[in-house]
Each structure stands twice: as structure tokens, then as C-alpha cells.
Amino acid sequence: MTVVAALRDALGDIVDASEVSLEAARADRSGHRSPGRPIAVVHARTVADVQQTMRIATATRTPVVVRGAGTGLAGAANAGPGEIVLSTMRLNRVLEVRQDDLLAVVEPGILNAQLNARLAEDGLWWAPDPASRDISTVGGNIATGAGGLLCAKYGVVRDAVLGVDLVLADGRLLHLGHRSVKGVTGLDLTALVIGSEGTLGVVVGATLKLRRLVEGEVCTLTALFPTVRAAAAGSAAVTASGVQPAIMELMDAPAFAAVHAHLRLPAPAATTSQLTIQTDGPAAAAEAARIAETLRASGGTVTLTTDRAEGEQLLAIRRSMHGAMAALGTTLIEDVSVPRSALPAMFDEIARIEAAYGLTIPTVAHAGDGNLHPNFIFEGSEVPDHVWAAADELFRAAVRLGGTLTGEHGIGILKSRWLADELGEDQWELQRQIKAVFDPLGILAPGKVFAHA
């Protein structure tokens, strides 16, 4: 009996081997595509479906790639020949919401925006706010250790997850973490799973740490600067001032111009870069006034609104970045982070790399936490060698400035060749050994994260 036949015998019509589904599973939004199609997509509806899939995979030594919405940017969910795709998109329920304990228990396939629309009914929200919130899943957020626009003030996914339910490679189900605010029993396996990109197990449930909806005003500022370095220096000055905005986003001139063209807005001046900043809570107005003063002192032209709808329209410009880049060609969206004080220096490095390789690299940054997303635009489905060479210099520059290869998109396939360089050989080998404890046969996400020495 073939693996696909065994899956169908056990799971029935949730096993999908149609050409359309298999072809779609080859790629995410990273620009990377696997060399061929997987053998089947299992559209799991229950935890038992996931367990049965993993038991069959273990018995037949068949690799498994876990996949949510397919919106990742590092190739971690891309599946190739001989692999089973385990889709968690139909596991999308909110199982429990506790207003008194400020927690929710959810399945991994629920979208960020859908979850927060549901929580808002109870005056609650889950803080992680990726720009892709309308299309990204909670499970994908957990897999990549996602961040987003609000994480400088409210934390990243790791700060907002109390526990996960994890199906191991052999089908066993573990309940990791806790429902209490505090809990330090044993090693923190929940934190280990967050950001593991499907290499340790299949997340089938999550206990999330919630917040009450923020009361008070929301103030939104935009500040235009004549150069991206000036904008980065302005954001660093805001951080140094001691004010903590909820959102502080930076768009360099090429990114700013591309979004305006995509949204059919009037074109900005050629070198104009923009900061978009939002404050919230009871002190929002006073904080916004201090930030405006700091930005003007840094050379910015500042506008401020207290109208929430107008503020969301301003943020929509930033959230349209992915669409604007896609309109320019195939996009390799990178994801380095540096200390916030090093943002101006990192933009200097990007300018140097642009000049050295004859490239334009539109870049946006979560300036509130030092996470930059440089975009390499090219034609075709394969990343050209000179783009990889430029990306190599970009990664090494970020690490040299005290930063990291990835702030929130993960390693996946695309960055595995640089992982050992950042971690060091001893830590890299230790992490490989930890994966082997969870997945002794090496069937989970083969070729991802730890593929290169």
C-alpha cells in the first residue's frame, strides 16, 4: 500500500492529491518554490487527524511539512517531492475565552484578524499584530515567533503565549505550558516550540495571554524626512527620549514611493522617507506631543491626528507594503534586526550594498524595535546570484552591528546557510541535537532551518 493510500484509508476525503493543491503547497510568499510537488495534502479537521497522519508518517518514514496559510517569508512551509503536507487551516476554532483569567484557547488555523474580532466582543485582544494580520494564522505566528507593528510596546508572540498543544513526530500529544500567569516547572518547552518552524512537532492548540482593550485616545503622527538616515535618527531619538509609542514604522524613499504608486496616491518627493507613529492609552495625547517635538528637532515635518479612522488610513499605507512590492516583481523579503540605536548605521549599510551591487532595496522597518525588512526585487522564480551575494552582505552587516538574521520571519530554507555563522558551531550543534530528541527520524520539516553546516 502506498503512503497516500494508507492516508486515505485512515483519513478519507481530507487527503487531497489534486494537482492544484499539490502545486500550491510548493511555495509560500518568500519567492522560493520547491523543486517538485509533494505527494498529498492532509486537511486536518481534528487533533486526532494530525496524530493519525504523524503515526503513518513515522511508520513509513515519510517527511512531513506543516502548513498554515502559506504566507510565510522564509520557505519553511514549502513542500517538495516525497513529502506529506499537513495543513492546519481547518483547525480554526476559538475553544475558550476567559475574561477573568485573560486567556483564550484557540486552534492554530484561526487568522489574527478573526481572533481579535472575536475577542473584541468581550473587550479583549491578543497583542501580536503582524502587517499580514488579515491573512496570517496564529499557528504560523507561533511557528515563526512573529512580531508585528505593536511589539515594541506590547511584546512579540513569545510574550503572549502561555502554552501549546503539540503533536510529536510519532503522534503523541503533549500539553506544554500552563494557564496560570506564573509557571516555572521544568524546562520552558513552550518557549522552545515558539519559533521552531515546524521542526519539533505540530502545534494543534494554543493558550494565549490576552489584554483588555486599551482605553483612552489613539494619536497617529507622520513625519517626513529628507533622507532615510534622518528618519532613522529621528526614530532613535524618540526611543532615547523615553516615550514608548505603540507603533513606530519607517519607510525609506523607494518603499514610500512604491506604496504611493500601488495605492494611486500622489508621488512623494524622490528622497522622502516617512515615520508613522501611534500612541495609545490615557497618556496618548501627551506622549504624541512629546514625540512630535522630538521629531521636529530631528528635522522631520510632522502631522498629527487624534481621529482613529484617519489614523488607520495612515497605517494602511504601511500595511500595503507587501502588495506594493509584489507589483514590482518577484520579491525576496528579508528580515534582519539590529539594536535600535544602530538603525541609522544599518541604513548606511543598505545604501553601501545598493551601490556595490547596482540594486535598489526598498526597506521598511519596525523602527520601535530595530527590525528591518529590506526587499530585493527581481524577475523570474529563481533568486539571482548577485541578489544572494547582496543578501549575504546584508546579513553579515546586521550581525556585525549586534543584530540577528531574523527578527520574526524565521530561518526556513532561505537563511539556513547563515544560521551556524550567527549561532556559532557549538550552539548550532546543540540545537540540532535538541531537534533530534523531538524528531529522531528527522521526518519533520526536512531541509529546513538546520540543513547547512
Q: Where are the alpha helices (DSSP H) in 12-76?
A: 19-24, 47-60
CATH classification of the domain holding 251: 3.40.462.10
Q: Report the distance separating Cα 413 and Cα 79, nearest Å.
A: 11
Quick one: which H or E segment has residue 175? strand 173-177
Q: Are residues 121 and 169 in the same domain?
A: yes
Q: Are residues 163 and 289 in the same domain?
A: no
Average pLDDT for residues 169-194, to the nearest whole number? 96
Q: Are residues 79 and 106 in the same domain?
A: no
The DSSP secondary structure of 216-276, one letter per residue, reads SEEEEEEEEESSHHHHHHHHHHHHHHT---SEEEEE-HHHHHHHHHHTTPPPPPTT-EEEE
Looking at the domain assignment, is residue 449 inside a domain? no
Distances (CA, A) of 75 to 65, 170, 338: 11, 24, 23
Q: Are residues 60 and 121 in the same domain?
A: no
Nearest to 209 by CA among 310, 101, 112: 101
Share of the chain above pLDDT 70, in %: 100
Average pLDDT for residues 73-93, to the nearest whole number? 94
* Residue 265 confidence (pLDDT): 92
Nearest to 252 by CA among 105, 381, 411, 360: 360
Looking at the domain assignment, is residue 430 inside a domain? no
**Starting from the edge strand earliest in sequence, which strands make up the sheet with 84-87, in order?**
15-16, 40-43, 84-87, 64-67
Average pLDDT for residues 67-83, to the nearest whole number? 91
| Beta carbons within 10 angstroms of residue 330's beta carbon | 18
* Residue 132 confidence (pLDDT): 77
Partnered with residue 106 across adjacent β-strands are 94, 206
Average pLDDT for residues 25-49, to the nearest whole number? 92
Q: Are residues 141 and 119 in the same domain?
A: yes
Evaluate whether 379 touches 373 at the Cβ level (below 8 Å).
no
Q: Are residues 204 and 113 in the same domain?
A: yes
Q: Are residues 82 and 170 in the same domain?
A: no
Quick one: which H or E segment has residue 303? strand 301-305
Which has more confidence, 28 or 99? 99
Burial class (CB in 10 A: 0-12, 13-18, 19+), 44: buried
Distances (CA, A) of 182 to 103, 192, 236: 13, 17, 33
Minimum mean pLDDT among 134-143, 236-245, 316-325, 433-442: which range? 316-325
* Residue 413 confidence (pLDDT): 86
* Residue 452 confidence (pLDDT): 59
Evaluate whether 252 touches 270 at the Cβ level (below 8 Å).
no
Residue 102 has pLDDT above 90, yes or no: yes
Could you report the per-residue pLDDT of 113-140, keeping only the tens digit for each? 999 999 999 999 999 877 777 889 999 9
Q: Are residues 80 and 136 in the same domain?
A: no
Share of the chain above pLDDT 90, in %: 79
Q: Which residue, of 180, 212, 244, is where some domain finishes?
A: 212
Average pLDDT for residues 212-219, to the nearest whole number? 92
Evaluate whether 109 touches 92 at the Cβ level (below 8 Å).
yes
CATH classification of the domain holding 146: 3.30.465.10
Confidence band, pLDDT 50/70/90 cuts, at residue 396? very high
Could you report the per-residue pLDDT of 329-377, keeping only the tens digit for each? 888 888 999 999 999 999 999 999 999 999 999 999 999 999 999 999 9
Q: Are residues 250 and 394 in the same domain?
A: yes
Provide CB contacts within 8 A for 164, sequence distance 6+: 142, 176, 177, 190, 193, 194, 203, 205, 206, 207
| Beta carbons within 10 angstroms of residue 259's beta carbon | 26
* Residue 198 confidence (pLDDT): 96
Looking at the domain assignment, is residue 354 inside a domain? yes
Residue 322 has pLDDT above 80, yes or no: yes
Q: Which residue, of 162, 183, 212, is where some domain finishes?
A: 212
Looking at the domain assignment, is residue 164 inside a domain? yes
* Residue 79 confidence (pLDDT): 94
Minimum mean pLDDT among 163-172, 237-246, 443-452: which range? 443-452
Looking at the domain assignment, is residue 426 inside a domain? no
Domain of residue 40: give its range.
3-87
Nearest to 147 by CA among 62, 23, 248, 26: 248
Residue 417 has pLDDT above 90, yes or no: no
Nearest to 147 by CA among 133, 163, 135: 133
Looking at the domain assignment, is residue 167 inside a domain? yes
Q: How many residues does the chain have?
A: 453
Helices and strands (DSSP H and E) totals, the chain: 16, 19
Average pLDDT for residues 17-24, to the nearest whole number? 96
Looking at the domain assignment, is residue 431 inside a domain? no
Average pLDDT for residues 286-301, to the nearest whole number? 97
Can you say whether the dihedral through the CA atoms of 379, 383, 388, 394 is positive or negative?
positive
Mean pLDDT of the residues in the chain: 93
Q: Are residues 392 and 327 in the same domain?
A: yes
CATH classification of the domain holding 15: 3.30.43.10
Domain count, the chain: 3
Q: Are residues 264 and 388 in the same domain?
A: yes
What the block records as the C-alpha cell of 429 is: 550543534
Q: Which residue, of 171, 189, 212, is where some domain finishes?
A: 212
Partnered with residue 280 across adjacent β-strands are 218
* Residue 400 confidence (pLDDT): 95
Q: Are residues 275 and 352 in the same domain?
A: yes
Residue 453 has pLDDT above 60, yes or no: no
